[in-house]
Structure formats: C-alpha cells, structure tokens
Amino acid sequence: MSDHIKLSVSKTKCFKQCKKQYHYAYVLKFPKKERNYHVTGSFCHKVLEEFHQAYIDGCVLPYNVTMTQAWKTAWAEFGAKMTPDMKRECWDLINGYLRKVSREKLGNILAVEQKFEFNITETVSIRGGIDKVTLDDDNVLRVSDYKTTKKGKKYLQDDMFQLMTYGYVLLQEHPEIDKIRGSYILLRHDFEEITREFSREQLLGIKQQFLDYAQSINEETEFPANPTVLCGWCDHVDICEEGRAKVASNPATSKSIFGEVGY
Ligand code: SF4
C-alpha cells in the first residue's frame, strides 16, 4: 500500500459497504461494467451541465433552445450507447426539468461539475466533482448532487456524507462562511430535492471521517466479503463466491433495475 491515499465519496462508501468489492475495484483495479443506467445517468448529467454552463456564461436564449443544444452535445458523446427506451426515458426526465425551470426560476448558478482534489493531510487527499453550486437568495451557498435512482428517498435522507463532503470542499475555498446547504436532486422523482443545512462545525468534522477511513483502509489486510442484496449490482459478482451465493438465494436481486442505488 502506498503512503499516500487518495479518497473519494464513492471509494469510501464502497469500502464501508463491502471490503471485498473495494479490493476488486481499487486495489486490484478490475474494470467496471458499463450498465445502461450508467449511460443514462452520464447522459442526463451532461445535458444539465451544458444547459447550466450556458447561463453561467451569459446565455440569454430561451430555455428550450438552450436545452435542445445541450441535448445535441450530450447525444454526440453518448448517443451511440443509447437504446430507444433509454432515449425516451432521458427525454422525459429532461423535459420534466425544462417544465420545472420554466415555472420556477433557474437560480443563481455559480458552477457545474466543479472538480476538486486536495490534500487534507500530508498522506490523505480527497477528490471528486460537485454537480452544481448555487447561491441562494439568502446568500447561502448550496451544493447539489443529481441522483437518477428509482428507489425511494429514505436511504438518501439518512446519508448526508456526500453533501457534507462537498460542503467541506467549499469551506476550504470560502473559510469565512458559517453554513452551507446541500441538496440531492432526484431526477426520477420530478426533480424533488432533499435539502439539509450544515454548520461550519459539522462540515469540519468530515475531515476526521476521511482520516478514519484512510486508517481503516491502510490497516485492512483481509478485505472480507459482505454479501447483501446489493450483490446483484456488483461489478464483480461473477468472480465472487459469496456474492454469487447471495444472488442465487434470492433470484430477484440478480435482475438489474433501471436506476442505480446512488448514481
Ligand atoms: S458480490 Fe457482493 S460480496 Fe462479492 S464483492 Fe460484490 S458486493 Fe462484495
């Protein structure tokens, strides 16, 4: 194990969920499978990124014109991988967003797909990307992450780690602010938002959580399996004895759903 460890939200979540999966993905670096819901998720992210970036850049065109252009740009990148069903579903989602911003305001968007990577100690760094950063009317910064899951909201309501990480990142850039808002935006639930406010103290605590993960990862030698219902969506289930047994015990879990857990 190298002395320096690079962490991300997805990497730490993977370690927490199943250490064997972490070993396959991040130690052995076995390739991931590309599933339809990855493509549709990436496509919708790209459309929304292009759309919002246009208005950050000063676009004055009507929303529908800009969205059409954003769709074309995303299609040029992902169209070859999209089936008619995937295209139809994405069209409905994006059309829903267009209706939403037409009846509500777009908001003061400061950045989209904001990448970050920095050291939190000499031996631990974190990296990732924030889907959208906005400044709310009351001058509170908001970080948002799009979710394309079809599942209910419960698991997101109970898991603020990702939004708090993004809030922690913004705090590094704006050390003067004392709170940040975070929202999961549920694309398949009519762009409903799950929003929380985090104090400066709460966000600073995220650093220790990453340090704890780094220590646990560095100390791990066995990488035991943790077979759960999620094995049905694991990229490495084909080579994992425990995962295959879990899936076989419940055939329903082997059926892929259109809409991943946390994309
Ligand atoms: S199939 Fe299940 S138990 Fe095996 S590595 Fe994947 S998540 Fe872990």
What is the pLDDT tens value at each position of the chain, 263 positions in all? 458 999 999 999 999 999 999 999 999 999 999 899 999 999 999 999 999 999 999 999 999 999 999 999 999 999 999 999 999 999 999 999 999 999 888 889 999 999 999 999 999 999 999 999 999 999 999 999 999 887 767 778 889 999 999 999 999 999 899 999 999 999 999 899 999 999 999 999 999 999 999 999 999 999 999 999 999 999 999 999 999 999 999 866 545 433 343 33
154 CB contacts (<8 Å, ≥6 apart)?
none
pLDDT at residue number 258: 34
14 lines ligand 1 (CB under 6 A): no
Nearest CA to ligand 1 atom 5: 21
Tell me the Ramachandran region of residue 118: left when phi exceeds 0, alpha when psi lies from -120 to 50, beta otherwise: beta
Atom of ligand 1 nearest to the CA of 236: 6
Per-residue model confidence (pLDDT) at position 2: 58
Predicted confidence at residue 257, as pLDDT, reads: 38
Specify whether the CB–CB gap between 115 and 8 falls below 8 A.
no
Ligand 1 contacts CB of residue 243 (under 6 A): yes
The confidence score (pLDDT) of residue 133 equals 97
**Residues contacting 148, CB < 8 A, separation 6+:** 37, 40, 41, 44, 93, 187, 188, 259, 260, 263
Assess whether the C-beta atom of 232 lies below 6 angstroms from ligand 1: no
Residue with CA nearest ligand 1 atom 7: 231
And the tokens for 226? 């943790």
Q: What pLDDT is attached to residue 139?
A: 95
Structure tokens given for 187: 């694309």
- Sign of the Cα torsion 10, 15, 18, 19 reads positive
Neighbours of 146 (CB within 10 A): 20
Coil vs helix vs strand at 141: strand
Q: Are 220 and 10 in contact (CB under 8 A)?
A: no
